[in-house]
Chains A and B, each alone.
Chain A
């Protein structure tokens, strides 16, 4: 039997009718047409379906949709206003940190989580945090470079703010 839940998706409050066996990924893609998060493995290993729940990266393929009741979900569609790019997205473009792009939305959402959890992360921490996001094109080194760029940018902005 479907149940009604209220939740926030990309900043917008929504009332959703979800069946108990539906995953968050299914509801995002099929009910809300938010198709940025994609299903790779379906068992939490590849990271392609990564979204943020209350700011923390989770595998949406292993999250029961009912569990986001009263919580805030951010998908790749919500990281920047329409027509704009987030700092992480821009850094991925600058470094060409993708080839086929299938893993990219999940990769970027994981980086958004990293910036929140470890805003000053060094390379070892970046590698450790992203170790569960798989890219079969092998763009890992470009991804690490992109993340280092963003962290350096954020640090420089912070220094400017404190100097000013």
Chain B
């Protein structure tokens, strides 16, 4: 790889100061995204700020009132295997399990995943559906931002100079929700998603009391389908309802072309996958 220097600060204060002093520098965690950009010459750094020595950055904790807090440096595999995540937010474990391969899941971190802002990724779709909040920290304090507002576009986020993603938090999901994350790949089983659908349902017998539906990896940020959610309220998930959901998603989503499929293909795919995800969620979705 090209030469660069590396700072390894032991506190947020020092890391934030280093990033403010060197505006071209980037923070590095697992490195699975950044090192590929460097190897391909897309990003040519003089300095990277490695976060690995900041204590407590990989902790995963649960609080009944505030929910789950995942330290930014927890690996994708840490999140997937966390008993707290599996118990309280099984959909997040599912979405982490289908990321790339085991080696990448052991290196890549949840903080790096959201900070990279890559739309072709599984966890952000699930996290947006779960109402996740990103905790952003500087030398002087921290602020919270809903992930849906943090992600601005392809590889674009609301991160301010000197800010670091210190944690991802997910509010307690409440009782009676079922959830499912459904990934579809077009090239190989461990590829990035061509489309990912995250769905949550609160069912009253066979009737939908409340629904949440987020389609990811086809638009530059995950797309929450609020009109579809409203449509689902009070309906039974029969074939007619599901078909209408598919039509509504396909009509409303504005996909972009990429190497995983044309916009036209992804429009149809998103509709079909939304139907399948809802069916999966209602029949086999992880309950809590």
Query: Which A residues are within 8 Å of any B CB, using their own CB?
Result: 1, 3, 19-23, 42-45, 47, 50, 53, 56-59, 62-64, 66-67, 110, 113, 117, 129, 131-133
| Inter-subunit contact A62/B35 (CB<8 Å) | yes
Q: Can you list 8 contacts pairing A with B, beta carbon distance less than 8 Å?
A: A20-B48, A23-B1, A53-B106, A59-B103, A62-B32, A67-B31, A67-B52, A117-B102
B8 lies within 8 A of A63 (CB)? no
CB pair A132 B103 closer than 8 Å: yes
Q: How far is the CB of B259 from chain A (nearest CB, A)?
A: 14
* Docked-complex contact A66 and B8, CB < 8 angstroms: yes
B230 within 8 A of A: no
Whether the Cβ atoms of B106 and A21 lie closer than 8 Å is: no
Give every chain A residue within 8 A of B189 (Cβ-Cβ).
131
Chain B residue with the shortest CB-CB distance to A19: B3
Q: A44-B36, A66-B8, A132-B102 are in contact. Are A21 and B1 (CB under 8 A)?
A: yes
B6 contacts the other chain (Cβ, under 8 Å)?
A: yes
Please tell me if the beta carbons of A66 and B6 are within 8 angstroms of each other in the complex: yes
A117 / chain B contacts, CB cutoff of 8 Å: 102
Q: Of A1, A47, A67, which one neighbours B103 at CB under 8 angstroms?
A: A47
Docked Cα-Cα span, A56 to B81, in Å, equals 13
Interface size in chain B (residues, C-beta < 8 A): 27
Residues of A contacting B2 in the complex (Cβ-Cβ under 8 angstroms) = 21
Contact yes or no, B3 A132, CB < 8 A? no
Contact of A110 with B190 in the complex, beta carbons under 8 Å: no
- What is the CA–CA distance of A20 and B31 in the complex, to the nearest angstrom? 13
* Seed contacts A50-B103, A132-B100; 20 additional CB < 8 Å A-B pairs: A1-B5, A19-B3, A20-B48, A21-B4, A21-B6, A22-B1, A44-B36, A53-B106, A57-B103, A59-B103, A63-B31, A63-B107, A66-B6, A66-B50, A67-B31, A110-B102, A113-B102, A132-B102, A132-B190, A133-B101
Closest chain B CB from A27 CB (angstroms): 12
The answer to whether A58 and B103 have CB atoms under 8 Å apart is: yes
B39 at the interface (CB under 8 A from A): yes
Q: With A20-B5, A23-B1 as given contacts, are A132 and B106 in contact (CB-CB < 8 Å)?
A: no
User: In the complex, how many angstroms separate the beta carbon of A32 from the nearest chain B beta carbon?
Assistant: 18
A22: chain B residues at CB < 8 Å are 1
Using A57-B102, A132-B104 as known contacts, say yes or no to A64 and B5 having CB atoms under 8 A apart: no
Contact across chains for A44 and B102 when beta carbons are under 8 A apart = no
Q: Which residues of chain B have C-beta atoms less than 8 A from A131's C-beta? A: 101, 189-190
Q: Is B77 at the interface (CB under 8 A from chain A)?
A: yes
Nearest A residue to B97, CB-CB: A128
Residues of B contacting A67 with CB < 8 Å? 31, 50, 52
Contact B77 A56 (CB under 8 A): yes
A20 touches B100 (CB 8 A): no
- B28, CB-defined interface residue at 8 Å: yes
Contact A64 B28 (CB under 8 A): yes
List the A residue with the shortest CB-CB distance to B77. A56
Kindly provide the distance from the CB of B246 to the nearest chain A CB, expressed in whole angstroms: 28
Assuming the contacts A1-B5, A44-B36, A56-B77, asked whether A62 and B107 have C-beta atoms less than 8 A apart, the reply is yes
